[in-house]
């Protein structure tokens, strides 16, 4: 059996790797390399295919690891084809008995007589199969429980990888469009200027700065906004979670619908349930009329649940049902209501530790942690402090009809 909480710790570490600002091929290679810390493996391989089904990226890891050009010695093409075609995991407890491996998985003298177990899962994004993630190990014929656990773990990793690949491709497409626009003849300049600004020029009310860390977040926000994926905004207090949530809504196809927010930490559980799900007249003392909850009010739009890490375990189960089914019942009611809401959650809490300690449900964690976005604190945004100081002073001058200005020495001191 695995050491307790290894899968969760693995997902957390792999999530950090996937959100690091590096090239996609380096990111995926780092993911394969770290797998050995969480699963028993001899070799690991990740194969990513392009839209035509041709190899785009291959990354391998393990003893006697093969270079990228020889990745088929780690996972044969026939195995990749099988997993991609079926879209389901493939588990073989003895590859020597499988026709798929007749071309020969890497073997060593130590594995010549000992069965080699293979586990491979598809990398998916939505309904599209993007590639495969696989491991193999020596001498594991009877460990079916371990295989089941590893299939689940690798599937979660593959899902995270799939979303990352899709995000990188969307960013790449937008960059290419921008380059093409910049190369157009001068007669197209006016048309370009009258179009809505693309994500490289996104301005968010309340977010001021030009630092690389902030620009990277803005770029990610602009891409994610066009999807319906659940977003988890993470960062310290004061990093602007609500402003970024509003930006995601304004840049999304749901922008004409409502943006509704609720601070989960500010309310006791009984009030929180009424606020989110609504209540019927007479449901409890003080319920003098029927009231729609925040989910209903946000129907067709976006709902921000701030401080999501502070809700009780009992209420987490109720929230999970709504997220899974898209249905709810008002407090004191019996009629089932269907809602279509894009959910954004925000927290400064270490949810991974909360899950390990039994304070936060793991299934809810995976449900809301679809697209995590780390918001940088000000200390990681060099050069933005003077800009913010000037913006605050401009606001003060406007509100108080003053014309104050910072002395150069003052800006230098706070920079």
331-374 residue pLDDT tens: 888 888 899 999 999 999 998 888 888 889 888 888 888 888 99
Q: Which of 108, 119, 114 has the alpha carbon at shortest distance from 45?
A: 119
Pick the range with the lowest mean pLDDT from 19-33, 163-177, 248-262, 288-302. 163-177
Quote the pLDDT of residue 177. Answer: 62
Q: Is position 193 within any domain?
A: no
Q: Are 137 and 89 part of one and the same domain?
A: yes
Q: Measured between alpha carbons, how far is 326 from 337 in angstroms, rounded to an integer?
A: 8
In this predicted model, what pLDDT tens digit does every residue of 69-82 receive, in sequence order?
Answer: 467 777 888 889 88
218 and 319 share one domain: yes
Decide if pLDDT at 305 tops 90. Answer: yes
Report the number of distinct structural domains present in the chain: 3
Separation CA 156–CA 163 (nearest Å): 11
Q: What is the C-alpha separation between 7 and 181, in angstroms, rounded?
A: 45
Same domain, 213 and 107: no
Return the pLDDT at 186.
46
Q: Does 316 map to a domain?
A: yes
Look at residue 194 and tell me if it is in a domain: no
From the list 178, 259, 184, 191, the residue with the least C-alpha distance to 225 is 259
Q: Do 95 and 213 lie in a common domain?
A: no
Q: How far is CA 219 from CA 79, 98, 223, 247, 384, in A?
A: 36, 46, 7, 12, 17
What confidence tens digit (pLDDT) does each residue in 222-273 have? 888 888 888 999 989 888 899 999 999 999 999 999 999 999 987 888 888 8
Answer yes or no: is 189 within a domain. Answer: no
Tokens of 123: 């990398």
Predicted local confidence at residue 140, as pLDDT: 59
User: What's the 3-state SS for the chain?
Assistant: CCCCCHHHHHHHHHHHHHCCCCCHHHHHHHHHHHHHHCCCCCEEEEEEECCCCCEEEEEEEECCCCCHHHHHHCCCHHHHHHHHHHCCCEEECCHHHCHHHCCCCCCCHHHCCCCEEEEEEEEEECCEEEEEEEEEEECCCCCHHHHHHHHHHHHHHHHHHHHHHHHHHHHHHHHHHHHHHHCCCHHHHHHHHHCCCCHHHCCCCCCCCCCHHHHHHHHHHHHHHCCCCCEEEECCCCCCHHHHHHHHHHCCCCCCCCEEEEEHHHCCHHHHHHHHHEECCCCCCCCCCCEECHHHHCCCCEEEEECHHHCCHHHHHHHHHHHHHCEEECECCCCEEECCCEEEEEECCCHHHHHHCCCCCHHHHHHHCCEEEECCCHHHCCCHHHHHHHHHHHHHHHHHCCCCCCCHHHHHHHC
Q: Are residues 145 and 20 in the same domain?
A: yes
What integer pLDDT is reported at residue 197 of this predicted model? 45
What band does 191 get if pLDDT is binned at 50, 70 and 90? very low
Mean pLDDT of the chain: 82
Buried b (16+ CB within 10 A) or exposed e, 94-108: ebbebebbeeebbee
CB-based contact 204:342 (threshold 8 Å)? no
Please state, in angstroms and rounded to a whole number, the distance separating the CA atoms of residues 290 and 333: 10
Q: How confident is the model at residue 109 (pLDDT cuts 50, 70, 90)?
A: very low
pLDDT at residue 22, as a whole number: 79
CA 75: distance to chain centroid? Answer: 28
pLDDT of 45 above 90: yes
Query: In sequence order, what are the beta bridge partners of 133?
Result: 46, 121
Give pLDDT tens digits for 48-98: 998 878 889 999 987 554 444 467 777 888 889 889 888 899 998 888 888
Task: Determine contact, residues 151/119, Cβ cutoff 8 Å.
Answer: yes
Alpha-carbon distances, residue 344 vs 221, 302, 323, 327, 367 (angstroms): 12, 7, 12, 17, 11
CA-to-CA distance for 268 and 336, rounded, in angstroms?
A: 24
pLDDT category, 198, cuts 50, 70, 90?
A: very low
Residue that finishes a domain, picked among 127, 150, 171: 171
Q: Is residue 131 part of a domain?
A: yes
Query: Does 410 share its domain with 367?
Result: no
Q: What are phi and psi of 371, to 5 degrees?
A: -125, 95
Which candidate, 164, 211, 227, 138, places its Cα nearest to that of 380?
A: 211
Strand partners, 305: 262, 345
Q: In terms of domains, do 387 and 342 share one?
A: no
Is residue 181 in a domain? no
Q: What is the pLDDT of residues 164-184, one digit of tens each?
A: 898 888 877 766 665 565 555
Tokens encoding 332: 């004191």
On whether both 232 and 259 belong to a single domain, the answer is: yes
Residues 42 and 164 in one domain: yes
Instruction: Give the pLDDT score at 180.
Output: 60
- Is residue 115 located within the same domain as residue 216? no
Domain that holds residue 389: 383-414
Show the tokens assigned to 100: 């798929």
Cα–Cα distance measured from residue 305 to residue 303, given in angstroms and rounded to the nearest whole number: 6
| Average pLDDT for 182-201 | 46
- Residue 382 neighbours by CB under 8 Å, 6+ apart: 211
CATH at 20? 3.30.450.40
Confidence label for 202 from pLDDT (cuts 50, 70 and 90): low
Assess if residue 231 is contained within a domain.
Answer: yes
The answer as to whether 341 is a domain residue is: yes
**Same structural domain, 213 and 356:** yes
CATH of the domain at 229: 3.40.50.300
Question: Do 228 and 289 fall within a single domain?
Answer: yes
């Amino acid at each position: 059996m695995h050491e307790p909480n290894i899968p969760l710790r693995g997902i957390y570490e792999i999530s950090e790797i996937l959100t690091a600002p590096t090239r996609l091929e380096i990111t995926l290679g780092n993911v394969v390399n770290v797998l050995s810390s969480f699963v028993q493996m001899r070799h690991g391989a990740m194969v990513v295919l392009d839209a035509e089904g041709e190899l785009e990226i291959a990354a391998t890891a393990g003893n006697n690891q093969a270079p990228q050009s020889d990745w088929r010695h780690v996972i044969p093409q026939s195995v990749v084809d099988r997993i991609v075609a079926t879209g389901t995991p493939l588990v073989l407890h003895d590859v020597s008995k499988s026709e798929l491996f007749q071309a020969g998985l890497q073997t060593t003298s130590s594995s010549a007589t000992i069965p080699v177990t293979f586990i491979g899962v598809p990398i998916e994004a939505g309904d599209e199969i993007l590639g495969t993630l696989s491991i193999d190990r020596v001498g594991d014929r009877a460990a079916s429980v371990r295989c089941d656990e590893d299939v689940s773990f690798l599937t979660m990793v593959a899902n995270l990888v799939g979303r990352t690949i899709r995000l990188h491709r969307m960013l790449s497409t937008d960059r290419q469009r921008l380059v093409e626009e910049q190369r157009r003849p001068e007669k197209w300049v006016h048309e370009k200027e009258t179009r809505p600004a693309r994500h490289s020029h996104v301005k968010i009310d309340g977010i001021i700065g030009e630092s690389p860390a902030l620009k990277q977040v803005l770029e990610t926000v602009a891409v994610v906004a066009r999807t319906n994926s659940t977003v988890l905004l993470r960062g310290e207090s004061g990093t602007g979670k609500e402003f970024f949530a509003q930006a995601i809504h304004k840049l999304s196809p749901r922008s004409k619908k409502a943006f509704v927010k609720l601070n989960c930490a500010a309310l006791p559980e009984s009030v929180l349930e009424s606020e989110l799900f609504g209540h019927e007249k007479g449901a409890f003392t003080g319920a003098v009329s029927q009231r729609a909850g925040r989910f209903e009010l946000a129907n067709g739009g976006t709902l921000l649940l701030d401080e999501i890490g502070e809700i009780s375990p009992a209420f987490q189960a109720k929230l999970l049902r709504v997220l899974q089914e898209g249905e709810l019942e008002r407090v004191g009611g019996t009629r089932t209501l269907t809602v279509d809401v894009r959910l954004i959650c925000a927290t400064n809490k270490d949810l991974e530790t909360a899950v390990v300690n039994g304070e936060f449900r793991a299934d809810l964690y995976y449900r809301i942690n679809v697209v995590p976005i780390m918001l940088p604190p000000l200390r990681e945004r060099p050069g933005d402090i003077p800009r913010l100081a000037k913006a605050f002073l401009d606001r003060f001058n406007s509100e108080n009809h003053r014309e104050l200005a910072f002395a150069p020495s003052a800006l230098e001191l706070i920079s």
